[in-house]
Amino acid sequence: MSVFQCPICGELMEALTNYHCASRHHMSRKELVYQHGMPKYVSPAMKREVQQWIRASQVITSLDYEVAQAAVRSQMRKS
């Protein structure tokens, strides 16, 4: 998986969207690209900050799963 980096703020995202451009930089995507250039295409295997972004953006971690499984097993034993 590769991601794009905003040319102004450096935020990493799946795609540079009009929403990001309007909410963060108060311009359309077209204006941002015209003034600041296209977003950089970044490969996660090469950049440490991209790997950190991927970890931070995950909703469920393995620990979350293990805790939930332990709780279910505990409830099953009580029954």
Q: Rounded CA gap, 49 and 51, in Å?
A: 5
CB of 13 closer than 8 Å to CB of 20: yes
Task: Look up tokens 């034993």; give the residue.
Answer: 77
What pLDDT score does 30 carry? 95
* pTM above threshold 0.75: no
DSSP 5: E
CB of 45 closer than 8 Å to CB of 35: no
More confident residue, 10 or 64: 10
Q: Rounded CA gap, 18 and 7, in Å?
A: 14
More confident residue, 36 or 78: 36
Q: Sign (positive/negative) of CA torsion 61, 64, 66, 68?
A: negative
